C-alpha cells in the first residue's frame, strides 16, 4: 500500500520536477517507510512515490522501480495477491528476469515486459493503482483495479498532465487551478460522494475501476485526454455470469463459496508485517475473520470500537464472535468527544467532499488497529454482491405497486400532489390521523407525500431506486446547473431483474465511490493497509452466477453467506437486525456540534460563497433544531462540503 503522484509536461518540466518532492510529501501518510522520485527531463515525465512496506521490506522494493530491461518505470500503489503465481508462469514461459527481490512491484514489471500491459492487468488479481512509463514509446499508462479499491486521479491543469492517489498531491503543483466543478457538486448532493469519473475539481477525473488510460506524445502536444478503456467490466461480467447460472444444490453452492473465500482470504493474509482484521460482529466481517482463523496457527488480531449510545454499539456482538473464534480481540469504547475530535480532520483525510458519516467510526477503528498491525482485512462488499441491503427487495416491491397504476394516472397525481403546500398536507393528515389504521400513520407526512409524488413520476424501477437513495434534489440547491449523466451506470443489462440491477448499480457506484473510498482514506490516513477478500473478482463472478433466491430469501439478504458463516459461528451470535456503522449525528447537531454547524451554514456565508441556494438549507437546519424533523443526512452533506471548501481554500 502506497501513494503515487507525478506529471508530464515538456514546457513546464522544471516546475514539475521542483514540485515533485512536495507533491509526494502530501502522501506521506500513505507511505511513511520510504520515498522516491524518478524523472526524465528529455521526455518531460516525473514520477513520485511514497511506500508503506508490506511485501519485501528490503531496498529491492523501492519505487519508482525500473524493469529489468530498463524500458518500463512504475509507481505502484496496492497489492497483487497472485504475484507468486505470475512469477511461476513467467518462469515456465522463459520470460522471467533474474529476480532482484520478491516484491509484487517487480513481478508486475516483469509481467508487463513478458505479456504486455493489458494482458498483465488481466492476469493480475489484487487492488492497485498504477502509473507506468514506457521509455521506448514515450507514453504513460494509468490503470486501476477491477472494483476500485485504490484511487487514482488525473487530468490537465495549467497545461500539465497531473496524476496522483489523492487530490492533495495534485493541488501541491504550483498554480493548480482548484475550481469547483459545479456539475460534480450536483452529483455529490444526490449521492453524498463525488462519483467517478468526476472529481470536485473541474478538469480532474477519477479513473473508473477496471480501466486503463494511455497518454501519448500527441496527446501531450494537443492537450487532449484519451478515453479510458475497460480491461474488465463489472457490468459485462455480471451479465455473462447470469447467462450461465449455477445449477447445483444449495449445499454445493455453499461449499463452492467457502472454497473461494478461503482461497481469497489466504492470498490476502500474505504479508511481511503484522496483520489483523476489523470485526463488527456482522455477517461479512465475521465470515472473513472465521476464514482467517481457520487458516492461522495463532489467534488472529481483531479490532472493534464501541459507543455508549444505545442503537450505535456493536462491540458486544463483535466480542462474542471473537470469543467463539478464539481471536486476540481488542475493543475500544469511545466517547462522543473522541468521535467529534475527528470531525475537523475529515476534510484533510478525505480531500474531497464526502458525507458518509460512518467515516468517523471508520477513522477511529483504523487508528485502533494501526497501534497493533500494519494490515487489516475488512468485510466490505457482501451487501452489494449478496443482496444485503433491504432496499433491494423493498424498492422492487414498491415499484411493482407503482407500475400497477396506469401511467397517465400516476403522472396526474405526481403533478397534483405538490400543488398542495407541505404544511397543508400535514394539517390535513394530522386531523385525519386518529381515524387511520396504525400502519398508515406517518411521521413528517408532508415530506413523505411530496417524495411519493416524485416516485410516482419515475418512468421505471431504475429511476425509482435512484430517487430512493437520493439525499438532495440538486436543482433545489443549484438552480441552473445541469446534473451530468453517469454513462457507466445508465446502461445496465436488461437481462437482469430490478433487484439485480440495484445490486449492480451499487457495485458500480456506491461501493467504489462511497464504501471503498471511506475505508481507503480512513485507513491510509494512519498508514494502515486494508484488504477486502469479498471483492476478489472470482468471488464477484461466482456471486453473479448464483440465482437470486440463494442471495435473498424470505425478505432477508445474504442467504448463502449466512449458510457458510453458520458452519463456523453459531447462528444466534449473528442473526439480528442490521445496525450499520454510524454515530448519532442527529443529536450532536442539536448539541455539541451546533455552533460549528451554525457557522458553516450561516446564510450570509452561503450566499457570499455562491454555491448553494441558502433557503432550503436554512429551512432544514431550523426544522432539525426544533426537533420536528431529522435532517442529519441532508445537513451532513452540506456541512462536509462547507468544511472541505474552507480547508481547500487554505490548502491552495
Report the DSSP beta bridge partners of residue 479: none
Distance in angstroms (rounded) separating the CA atoms of residues 502 and 512: 15
pLDDT over 90 (residue 329): yes
Same domain, 602 and 471: no
Residue 515 located in a structural domain: no
The verdict on 39 and 167 lying in the same domain is: yes
- Asked whether residue 64 falls in the same domain as residue 197, the answer is yes
pTM: predicted TM-score of the whole model, two decimal places: 0.93
Judgement on whether residues 492 and 603 belong to the same structural domain of the protein: no
C-alpha cell at 402: 407503482
**Which residues make Cβ contacts (< 8 Å) with residue 139, sequence separation at least 6?**
133, 214, 215, 216, 217
Which residues, 6 or more positions from 158, have their beta carbon under 8 angstroms from its beta carbon?
Answer: 12, 173, 175, 176, 177
Q: Tell me, yes or no, whether 113 lies in a domain.
A: yes
Helix, strand, coil percent values for the chain (each to nearest 5): 50, 15, 35
Burial of 381 (0-12, 13-18, 19+ CB in 10 A): buried
Q: Does some domain include residue 539? A: no
Specify whether the CB–CB gap between 65 and 108 falls below 8 A: no
Q: Could you tell me if 169 and 43 lie in one domain?
A: yes
Q: What are 624's three cell numbers?
A: 432539525
Tell whether 411 is covered by a domain: yes
- At residue 54, the pLDDT reads 83
pLDDT at 56: 74
What's the number of domains the chain is made of? Answer: 3
Q: Of 500, 520, 542, at which residue does a domain stop? A: 500
pLDDT of residue 176: 95
pLDDT at 457: 81
Tell me, yes or no, whether 215 lies in a domain. Answer: yes
Q: Within 10 Å of residue 14's Cβ, how many Cβ atoms?
A: 11
User: What pLDDT was estimated at residue 593?
Assistant: 94
In a domain? residue 262: no
Encode pLDDT of 331-347 as tens digits.
Answer: 999 888 898 899 999 99
Question: SS3 sequence, 159-217?
Answer: CEEEEECCHHHHHCCCCCCCCECHHHHHHHHHHCECCCCECCECCEEECCCCEEEEECH
Residue 446 has a pLDDT of 55
Q: Are the CB atoms for 302 and 290 separated by under 8 Å?
A: no
Report yes or no on 128 lying in a domain.
yes
Reported as a pLDDT band with limits 50, 70 and 90, residue 578 is: low
For residues 144-164, average pLDDT? 96
Query: Is the separation of the CB atoms in 288 and 530 below 8 Å?
Result: no
Q: pLDDT-derived band of residue 106, with 50, 70 and 90 as boundaries? A: very high
Q: What is the pLDDT of residue 443?
A: 55
- Three-state DSSP string of 84-111: HHHHHHHHHCCCCCCCCCCCHHHHHHHH
How does DSSP assign 227-262, residue by residue? PPEESS-HHHHHHHHHHS---S-HHHHHHHHHHHHH
Q: Which three cell numbers stand for residue 109?
A: 514489471
Residue 76, strand partner residues: 130
Q: pLDDT per residue over 592-638, tens digit each?
A: 999 999 999 999 999 999 999 999 999 999 999 999 889 999 999 99
Given a cut of 60, is residue 88 above it in pLDDT?
yes
How far, rounded to the nearest angstrom, does the alpha carbon of residue 374 sit from its chain's CA centroid?
Answer: 20
Q: Residue 106 half-sphere exposure, CB side, CA atoms within 13 Å?
A: 19
Query: Which pLDDT band holds residue 648 (cuts at 50, 70, 90)?
Result: confident
- pLDDT > 60? residue 425: no
Residue range of the domain that includes 61:
2-232
Work out the pLDDT band at 407, boundaries 50, 70, 90. Answer: confident
Q: What is the pLDDT of residues 607-619, one digit of tens each?
A: 999 999 999 999 9
Same domain for 496 and 590? Answer: no
Please indicate, yes or no, whether residues 90 and 188 belong to a single structural domain of this protein.
yes
Instruction: Enter the C-alpha cell of residue 45.
Output: 515525465
- Among 232, 266, 298, give the residue marking a domain's end: 232
Given a cut of 80, is residue 262 above it in pLDDT?
Answer: yes
Question: pLDDT band at residue 488, thresholds of 50, 70 and 90?
Answer: confident
User: Who's near 409: CB < 8 A, 6+ residues apart?
Assistant: none
pLDDT, averaged across the chain: 91
* 329 contact partners, CB below 8 Å, separation of at least 6: 279, 302, 303, 304, 318, 319, 322, 323
Q: Which residue has 522544471 as its cell numbers?
A: 14
Do 596 and 496 lie in one domain? The reply is no
Whether 441 shows a pLDDT value over 60: the answer reads no
Q: Is 610 found in the same domain as 471?
A: no
Amino acid at each position: 500500500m502506497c501513494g503515487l503522484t507525478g506529471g508530464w509536461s515538456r514546457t513546464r518540466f522544471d516546475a514539475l520536477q521542483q514540485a515533485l518532492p512536495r507533491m509526494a510529501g502530501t502522501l506521506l501518510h500513505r507511505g511513511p517507510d520510504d520515498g522516491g522520485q524518478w524523472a526524465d527531463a528529455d521526455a518531460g515525465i516525473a514520477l513520485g512515490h511514497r511506500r508503506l512496506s508490506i511485501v519485501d521490506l528490503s531496498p529491492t522494493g523501492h519505487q519508482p522501480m525500473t524493469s529489468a530491461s530498463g524500458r518500463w518505470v512504475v509507481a505502484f500503489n496496492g497489492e497483487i495477491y497472485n504475484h507468486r503465481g505470475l512469477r511461476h508462469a513467467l518462469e515456465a514461459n522463459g520470460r522471467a528476469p533474474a529476480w532482484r527481490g520478491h516484491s509484487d512491484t517487480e513481478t508486475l514489471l516483469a509481467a508487463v515486459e513478458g505479456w504486455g500491459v493489458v494482458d498483465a492487468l488481466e492476469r493480475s488479481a489484487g487492488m492497485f493503482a498504477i502509473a507506468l512509463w514506457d521509455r521506448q514509446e514515450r507514453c504513460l499508462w494509468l490503470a486501476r483495479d477491477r472494483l476500485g479499491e485504490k484511487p487514482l486521479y488525473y487530468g490537465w491543469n495549467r497545461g500539465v498532465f497531473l496524476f496522483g492517489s489523492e487530490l492533495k498531491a495534485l493541488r501541491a503543483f504550483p498554480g493548480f487551478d482548484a475550481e469547483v466543478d459545479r456539475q460534480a457538486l450536483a452529483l455529490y448532493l444526490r449521492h453524498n460522494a463525488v462519483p467517478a469519473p468526476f472529481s470536485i475539481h473541474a478538469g480532474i477525473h477519477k479513473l473508473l475501476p477496471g480501466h486503463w488510460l494511455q497518454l501519448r506524445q500527441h496527446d501531450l502536444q494537443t492537450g487532449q485526454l484519451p478515453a479510458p478503456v475497460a480491461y474488465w467490466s463489472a457490468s459485462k461480467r455480471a451479465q455473462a455470469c447470469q447467462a450461465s447460472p449455477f445449477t447445483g444444490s444449495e449445499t454445493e453452492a455453499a461449499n463452492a463459496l467457502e472454497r473461494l473465500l478461503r482461497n481469497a482470504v489466504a492470498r490476502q493474509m500474505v504479508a511481511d508485517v503484522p496483520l489483523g482484521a476489523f470485526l463488527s460482529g456482522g455477517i461479512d466481517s465475521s465470515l472473513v475473520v472465521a476464514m482467517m482463523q481457520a487458516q492461522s496457527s495463532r489467534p488472529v488480531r481483531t479490532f472493534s470500537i464501541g459507543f455508549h449510545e444505545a442503537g450505535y454499539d456493536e462491540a458486544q456482538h463483535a466480542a462474542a464472535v471473537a470469543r467463539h473464534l478464539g481471536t486476540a480481540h481488542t475493543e475500544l469504547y469511545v466517547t462522543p468527544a473522541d468521535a467529534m475530535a475527528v470531525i475537523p480532520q475529515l476534510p484533510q483525510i478525505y480531500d474531497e467532499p464526502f458525507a458518509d458519516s460512518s467515516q468517523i467510526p471508520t477513522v477511529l477503528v483504523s487508528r485502533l488497529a494501526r497501534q497493533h498491525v500494519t494490515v487489516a482485512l475488512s468485510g466490505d462488499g457482501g451487501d452489494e454482491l449478496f443482496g444485503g441491503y433491504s432496499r433491494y427487495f423493498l424498492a422492487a416491491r414498491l415499484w411493482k405497486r407503482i407500475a400497477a397504476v396506469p401511467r397517465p394516472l400516476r403522472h396526474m397525481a405526481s403533478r397534483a400532489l405538490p400543488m398542495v403546500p407541505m404544511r397543508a398536507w400535514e394539517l390535513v393528515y394530522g386531523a385525519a390521523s386518529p381515524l387511520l389504521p396504525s400502519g398508515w400513520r406517518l411521521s413528517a407526512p408532508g415530506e413523505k407525500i411530496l417524495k411519493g409524488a416524485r416516485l410516482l413520476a419515475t418512468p421505471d424501477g431504475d429511476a425509482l431506486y435512484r430517487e430512493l437513495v437520493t439525499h438532495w434534489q440538486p436543482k433545489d440547491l443549484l438552480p441552473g446547473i445541469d446534473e451530468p449523466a453517469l454513462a457507466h451506470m445508465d446502461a445496465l443489462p436488461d437481462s437482469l431483474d430490478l433487484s439485480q440491477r440495484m445490486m449492480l448499480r451499487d457495485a458500480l457506484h456506491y461501493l467504489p465511490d462511497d464504501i471503498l473510498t471511506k475505508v481507503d482514506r480512513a485507513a491510509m490516513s494512519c498508514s494502515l493497509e486494508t484488504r477486502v477478500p469479498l471483492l476478489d473478482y472470482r468471488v464477484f463472478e461466482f456471486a453473479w452466477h448464483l440465482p437470486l433466491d440463494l442471495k435473498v430469501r424470505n425478505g432477508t439478504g445474504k442467504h448463502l453467506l449466512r449458510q457458510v458463516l453458520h458452519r463456523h459461528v453459531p447462528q444466534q451470535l449473528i442473526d439480528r437486525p442490521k445496525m450499520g456503522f454510524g454515530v448519532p449525528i442527529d443529536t450532536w447537531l442539536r448539541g455539541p456540534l451546533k455552533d460549528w454547524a451554525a457557522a458553516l451554514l450561516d446564510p450570509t456565508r452561503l450566499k457570499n460563497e455562491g454555491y448553494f441556494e441558502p433557503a432550503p438549507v436554512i429551512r432544514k437546519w431550523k426544522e432539525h433544531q426544533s426537533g420536528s424533523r431529522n435532517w442529519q443526512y441532508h445537513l451532513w452533506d452540506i456541512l462536509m462540503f462547507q468544511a472541505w471548501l474552507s480547508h481547500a481554500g487554505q490548502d491552495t
